[in-house]
């Protein structure tokens, strides 16, 4: 019965399960349990629908996931992100150049798409040393990003109807494009990653390939323990796809939605700009990540959800005590970050954008409940890169430009649940004016 209800709200109602569960929590006054247990395995029913089973994200076995994370973690460490922040700054400055073209014109810029293009260019540069250059695409509507957005609802179809996924995965490319032209974007990114991977495997020691390319870490024999084998080509491909999708859509959406809330609250916008100008008085003297990260952006992360689905785990056969309650073995448990971030008991007036809530003398404890990147041993691998992108992105945009929302309301940022938010309204749009330096 529960499975049928999930199918109904996931597929037939179109990404409404998270909203329905929220209503049930209110109706039955359910106490939500919090957990972070590395011994629990992932629920295969959920994770296999993404087709990235041979990756850190897709591994069902926690031991395989942990080993892959150990290999990749140095690339995403805070120290490494700081040393490579130039990649982020370069793409954000390119974004600013593109937005400058809208200065004092009657055209509104598509903020949602520009941010997603920027984060796509950052993650491809960072992981593959080869940018997708989505920012150069006309109207910021790169086919990869369009394809990803269109493909999101298909994940739930794949989750509940596995034969459909098998057919899709085994359909020739030409037939997929003929029957469903919107898949061209996804096919394009798959082909791009496949070509890049083949070039690397043909000449892995080429000096033209930067040492921060993920394949270097994954294929380095020094990272292999006795009895382990190096990833196959399929494993390298799955890891690349997982990092690409996770590293672009989530951060891009957070920038767009966080940006909307700032612009929709003039007093907040003014305070943020004044704080930025105070700390960054001369635009010609660029500030680095370490200087900018001291400014408060936490409220933007609270109201801008990265992953909105619960991350399901299976309780071990022996059972587990979670939040004081005994949970039987085999039970699937999960938590969705929006349930935490909109909990009135933790965040009063949870649906209001109130940055000041983080600036009170007793507000330090709130950070424990800020979980946009999850928590525990399997939290988001790219959390440090995401923080760097968000900090530099917000700082440059709100310091350099005077923005004004155009025909965008809160209705436009309502989301459907397809693991990540799938926004049903118009994209966030804004008029752009350059600020004097």
- pLDDT band for 208, please (50, 70, 90 cuts): low
Q: pLDDT grade, residue 405 (50/70/90)?
A: very high
Residue 44 has a pLDDT of: 78
User: What is the rounded average pLDDT of the residues 358-369?
Assistant: 85
Which comes out higher in pLDDT, residue 162 or 376? 162
pLDDT of 35 reads 47
Higher pLDDT, 294 or 434: 434
- Spatial distance between the Cα atoms of 368 and 380, rounded to a whole number of angstroms: 16
Q: Among 405, 403, 410, which residue's Cα sits nearest to residue 432? A: 403
User: Partners of 434 in the beta sheet?
Assistant: 401
Q: What is the pLDDT of residue 32?
A: 47
> Mean pLDDT, to the nearest integer, of 218-244?
88
Q: Which residue has the higher pLDDT, 365 or 389?
A: 389
Question: 119-133, 325-339, 396-410: lowest mean pLDDT where?
Answer: 325-339
User: Does residue 142 form part of some domain?
Assistant: yes
Query: What is the domain extent for residue 293?
Result: 31-434
Mean pLDDT confidence for 259-265: 93
Cβ burial of 369 (10 Å; 0-12, 13-18, 19+) is: middle
Mean per-residue pLDDT for 190-215? 79
3 belongs to a structural domain: no
Question: CB under 8 Å to 370, separation ≥6 — which residues?
Answer: 298, 301, 302, 341
- Is residue 76 over pLDDT 80? yes
Structure tokens at 14: 């179109």
Task: Encode burial over 24-56: b for 16+ CB neighbours within 10 A, e otherwise.
Answer: eeeeeeeeeeebeeeebbbbeebbbbbbbbbbb
Q: Which two tokens stand for residue 349?
A: 């007036």
Annotation: binding site: 380
- Helices then strands, counting H and E runs in the chain, come out as 18, 10
Model confidence band, residue 191 (pLDDT cutoffs 50, 70, 90): confident
What are 2-18's pLDDT values in tens digits? Answer: 667 777 777 777 777 77
* Minimum mean pLDDT range among 19-28, 77-86, 187-196: 19-28
Residue 138 predicted with pLDDT over 50: yes
Is residue 15, in this structure, part of any structural domain at all?
no
Among 183-197, 246-260, 385-399, 422-436, the least confident range: 183-197
Nearest to 277 by CA among 299, 295, 298: 295
User: Hey, what are 176's tokens?
Assistant: 């997929």
Q: Indicate which CATH number applies to the domain containing 220.
A: 1.10.630.10
pTM over 0.85: yes
User: Looking at residues 92-106, what average pLDDT do you find?
Assistant: 95
- Whether 253 is in a domain gets the answer yes
Domains contained in the chain, number: 1
pLDDT at 84: 93
Through-space distance between the first and last CA atoms of the chain, rounded to whole angstroms: 61
For the stretch 305-317, pLDDT in tens is 888 888 888 888 8
Q: What's the rounded Cα separation, in Å, for the pair 64 and 82?
A: 28
Cα gap 432→19, rounded to integer Å: 34
- pLDDT per residue as tens digits for the range 23-73: 777 766 654 444 455 556 777 777 888 888 889 988 888 888 899 999 999
HSE-CB at 172 with a 13 A cutoff on CA atoms is: 3
What is the Rg, in whole angstroms, of the alpha carbon atoms belonging to the chain?
Answer: 22
Q: If you average pLDDT over residues 333-353, what whole number do you get?
A: 88
Residue 192 lies in a domain: yes
- The H or E element containing residue 257 is helix 233-263
Three-class secondary structure assignment of 372-408:
CCCCCCCCCCCHHHHHHHHHHHHHHHHHHEEEEECCC
Using CA atoms, how far residue 409 sits from 228, 265, 373, 412, in Å, is 53, 12, 26, 6
Q: Bigger pLDDT: 201 or 323? A: 201
pLDDT at 387 over 80: yes
Give pLDDT, residue 100.
96
237 pLDDT more than 80: yes
Binding site members for heme: 380
Q: Is residue 5 part of a domain?
A: no
Q: Return the higher-pLDDT residue of 405 and 335.
A: 405
Does residue 25 belong to any structural domain of this protein? no
């Amino acid at each position: 019965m529960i499975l049928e209800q999930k199918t109904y709200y996931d597929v037939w109602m179109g990404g409404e399960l998270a909203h329905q569960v929220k209503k049930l929590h209110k109706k039955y006054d359910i106490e939500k349990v919090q957990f972070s247990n590395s011994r629990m395995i992932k629920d295969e029913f959920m994770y296999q629908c993404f087709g990235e089973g041979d990756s850190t994200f897709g591994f069902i076995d926690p031991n395989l996931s942990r080993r892959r994370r150990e290999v990749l973690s140095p690339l995403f460490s805070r120290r490494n992100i700081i040393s490579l922040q130039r990649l982020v700054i370069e793409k954000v400055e390119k974004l600013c150049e593109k937005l400058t073209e809208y200065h004092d014109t009657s055209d509104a810029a598509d903020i949602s798409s520009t941010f997603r293009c920027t984060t796509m260019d950052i993650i491809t540069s960072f992981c593959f040393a080869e940018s997708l250059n989505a920012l150069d695409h006309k109207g910021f509507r790169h086919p990869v990003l369009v394809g990803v957005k269109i493909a999101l609802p298909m994940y739930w179809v794949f989750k509940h109807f596995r034969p459909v996924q098998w057919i899709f995965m085994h359909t020739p490319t030409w037939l997929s494009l003929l029957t469903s032209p919107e898949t061209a974007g996804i096919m394009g990114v798959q082909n791009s990653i496949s070509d890049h991977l083949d070039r690397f495997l043909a000449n892995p020691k080429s000096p033209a390939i930067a040492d921060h390319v993920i394949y270097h870490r994954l294929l380095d024999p020094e990272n292999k323990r006795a009895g382990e084998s190096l990833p196959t080509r399929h494993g390298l491909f799955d890891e690349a796809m997982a990092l690409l999708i996770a590293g672009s859509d989530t951060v891009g959406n957070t920038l767009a939605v966080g940006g909307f809330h700032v612009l929709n609250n003039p007093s907040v916008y003014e305070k943020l700009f004044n704080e930025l100008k105070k700390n960054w008085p001369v635009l010609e003297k660029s500030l680095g990540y370490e200087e900018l990260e001291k400014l408060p952006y936490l409220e933007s992360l609270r109201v801008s959800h990265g992953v909105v689905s619960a991350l399901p785990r299976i309780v071990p056969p022996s059972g587990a005590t979670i939040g004081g309650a005994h949970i039987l073995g085999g039970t699937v448990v999960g938590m969705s970050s929006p349930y935490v971030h909109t909990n009135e008991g933790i965040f009063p007036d949870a649906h209001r954008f109130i940055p000041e809530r983080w600036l009170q003398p007793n507000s330090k404890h709130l950070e424990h409940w800020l979980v946009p990147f999850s928590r525990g041993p399997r939290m988001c691998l790219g959390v440090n890169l995401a923080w760097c992108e968000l900090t530099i992105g917000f700082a440059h945009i709100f310091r350099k430009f005077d923005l004004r929302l155009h025909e965008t309301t809160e209705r436009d940022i309502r989301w459907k649940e397809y693991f990540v938010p799938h926004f049903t309204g118009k994209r966030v749009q804004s008029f752009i004016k350059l600020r004097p330096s």
